[in-house]
Amino acid sequence: MNHEPGRCLALSGGIGGAKLVLGLSQALGPDRLTVIANTGDDFRHLGLYVCPDIDTLIYTVAGLSNSSLGWGREDETWSCMDTCRQLGLDTWFRLGDRDLALHLHRTALLGQGVALSEVTRDLCARFGLPIAIVPMSDDPVTTTLTTDRGVLPFQEYFVRQRCAPVAAAIRYEGIERARPASAFESLLGDPALAAIVICPSNPLLSVQPILSLAGIRERLCNAASPVIVVSPIVAGRALKGPTAKLMRELGLDCDALAIARLYADIADGIVIDTADADQGAAIEALGVRVLATSVVMHSLADKVRLAREALAFARTLAGTRLSSG
Amino acid sequence: MNHEPGRCLALSGGIGGAKLVLGLSQALGPDRLTVIANTGDDFRHLGLYVCPDIDTLIYTVAGLSNSSLGWGREDETWSCMDTCRQLGLDTWFRLGDRDLALHLHRTALLGQGVALSEVTRDLCARFGLPIAIVPMSDDPVTTTLTTDRGVLPFQEYFVRQRCAPVAAAIRYEGIERARPASAFESLLGDPALAAIVICPSNPLLSVQPILSLAGIRERLCNAASPVIVVSPIVAGRALKGPTAKLMRELGLDCDALAIARLYADIADGIVIDTADADQGAAIEALGVRVLATSVVMHSLADKVRLAREALAFARTLAGTRLSSG
Instruction: Report percent pLDDT > 90 for chain A.
Output: 86
Tell me the pLDDT band of A136, cut-offs 50, 70 and 90. Answer: very high
d(CA B270, CA B256): 9
H-state helical runs in chain B: 15-28, 52-61, 79-86, 97-111, 116-126, 154-155, 182-188, 208-211, 216-221, 243-249, 256-263, 280-284, 300-324
- Tell me the nearest-neighbour CA distance from B124 into chain A, angstroms: 10
Asked if the Cβ–Cβ distance from B105 to A87 is below 8 Å, we say yes
Nearest CA in chain A to B73: A83
pLDDT above 80 (res A186): yes
Residues B239-289 have pLDDT tens digits of 767 888 899 999 999 999 999 999 999 999 999 999 999 999 999 999 999
What is the rounded average pLDDT of the residues B171-198? 95
- Tell me the nearest-neighbour CA distance from B45 into chain A, angstroms: 9
What is the rounded average pLDDT of the residues B223-231? 95
Tell me the pLDDT band of B320, cut-offs 50, 70 and 90. Answer: low
Select from A78, A2, A137, A150 the least CA-distant residue to B77: A78
d(CA B131, CA B129): 5
DSSP element (H, E) containing B151 = strand B150-153
Instruction: Report percent pLDDT > 90 for chain B.
Output: 86
d(CA A12, CA A57): 9
d(CA B25, CA B131): 7
Nearest by CB to residue A104, choosing from B46, B77, B82, is: B46
Tell me the pLDDT band of B322, cut-offs 50, 70 and 90. Answer: very low
Nearest by CB to residue A47, choosing from B80, B83, B107, is: B107
* Least confidently predicted of A103-112, A275-284, B239-248: B239-248
Close Cβ partners of B96 (under 8 Å, ≥ 6 residues apart): A79, B72, B73, B76, B77, B78, B80, B81
DSSP element (H, E) containing B202 = none
Between chain A and chain B, the number of residue pairs with CB atoms below 8 A apart is 85
Q: How many CB atoms lie within 10 A of CB A249?
A: 18
> CA A220, A287, A222 angle in degrees (round to 5)?
20
Q: What crossing angle do the helices spanning B52-61 and B15-28 adopt, rounded to 10°?
A: 40
Burial class from Cβ neighbours inside 10 Å (0-12, 13-18, 19+) for residue B179 reads: middle
Tell me the pLDDT band of A2, cut-offs 50, 70 and 90. Answer: confident
The CA-atom distances, in angstroms, between B183 and each of B5, B12, B133, B228 are 21, 15, 10, 20
Q: Tell me the domains of chain B and their CATH numbers.
A: 7-141+173-324 (3.40.50.10680)
> CA A253, A56, A211 angle in degrees (round to 5)?
45
pLDDT the model gives residue A189: 87
- State the average pLDDT for chain B: 94
pLDDT above 90 (res A1): no
Beta strand B227-230 pairing with B193-198 = parallel
The CA-atom distances, in angstroms, between B324 and each of B1, B224, B226, B291 are 34, 10, 11, 19
Asked if the Cβ–Cβ distance from A98 to B77 is below 8 Å, we say no
Is B72 within 8 Å of chain A by CB? no
Asked if the Cβ–Cβ distance from B97 to A80 is below 8 Å, we say yes
Is A253 within 8 Å of chain B by CB? no
ipTM greater than cut 0.85? yes
d(CA B33, CA B27): 10
pLDDT the model gives residue A92: 92
pLDDT the model gives residue A323: 44
Burial class from Cβ neighbours inside 10 Å (0-12, 13-18, 19+) for residue A127 reads: middle
pLDDT the model gives residue A237: 83
Give the predicted TM-score (pTM) of the model: 0.92
Which residue of B87, B102, B112, B119 is the best one to mutate when testing the A interface, meaning the one whose CB has the most A CBs within 10 A?
Answer: B87
Is A114 within 8 Å of chain B by CB? no
DSSP element (H, E) containing A253 = none
pLDDT above 70 (res B1): no
Q: Is the CB of residue A201 less than 8 Å from the CB of residue A207?
A: yes
d(CA B240, CA B254): 13
pLDDT above 90 (res B69): no
Q: Is the CB of residue A311 less than 8 Å from the CB of residue A27?
A: yes
Q: Is the CB of residue B226 less than 8 Å from the CB of residue B321?
A: yes
Asked if the Cβ–Cβ distance from B80 to A87 is below 8 Å, we say no
d(CA A114, CA A105): 11
pLDDT the model gives residue A191: 84
Burial class from Cβ neighbours inside 10 Å (0-12, 13-18, 19+) for residue A144 reads: middle
Classify B84 as helix, strand or coil. helix
pLDDT above 50 (res B308): yes
Nearest by CB to residue B100, choosing from A88, A100, A108, is: A100
d(CA A81, CA A267): 43
pLDDT the model gives residue B4: 85
- State the average pLDDT for chain A: 94
CA atoms within 13 A on the CB side of A167: 29
Asked if the Cβ–Cβ distance from A97 to B101 is below 8 Å, we say no
What is the rounded average pLDDT of the residues A41-62? 96
User: Which chain B residues are closer than 8 Å to A102 by Cβ?
Assistant: 83, 87
pLDDT above 70 (res B47): yes
Residues A109-125 have pLDDT tens digits of 999 999 999 999 999 99
Select from B159, B114, B161, B156 the least CA-distant residue to B138: B114
- Tell me the nearest-neighbour CA distance from B75 into chain A, angstroms: 9
Q: Is the CB of residue A140 less than 8 Å from the CB of residue A172?
A: no
- Tell me the nearest-neighbour CA distance from A138 into chain B, angstroms: 20
What is the rounded average pLDDT of the residues B12-34? 96
pLDDT the model gives residue A69: 86
pLDDT the model gives residue B201: 95
Q: Is the CB of residue A133 less than 8 Å from the CB of residue A52?
A: no
Asked if the Cβ–Cβ distance from B100 to A80 is below 8 Å, we say yes
Burial class from Cβ neighbours inside 10 Å (0-12, 13-18, 19+) for residue B282 reads: middle
Tell me the pLDDT band of A322, cut-offs 50, 70 and 90. Answer: very low
Instruction: Report percent pLDDT > 70 for chain A.
Output: 97
d(CA B267, CA B226): 8
Q: How many CB atoms lie within 10 A of CB B95?
A: 24
pLDDT the model gives residue A321: 59
Beta strand A150-153 pairing with A132-135 = unpaired
pLDDT the model gives residue B188: 93
What is the rounded average pLDDT of the residues B125-145? 97
Close Cβ partners of A285 (under 8 Å, ≥ 6 residues apart): none
pLDDT above 60 (res B297): yes
Burial class from Cβ neighbours inside 10 Å (0-12, 13-18, 19+) for residue B192 reads: exposed
Residues A69-96 have pLDDT tens digits of 888 999 999 999 999 999 999 999 999 9
pLDDT the model gives residue A325: 38
* Least confidently predicted of A67-71, A128-132, A209-213: A67-71
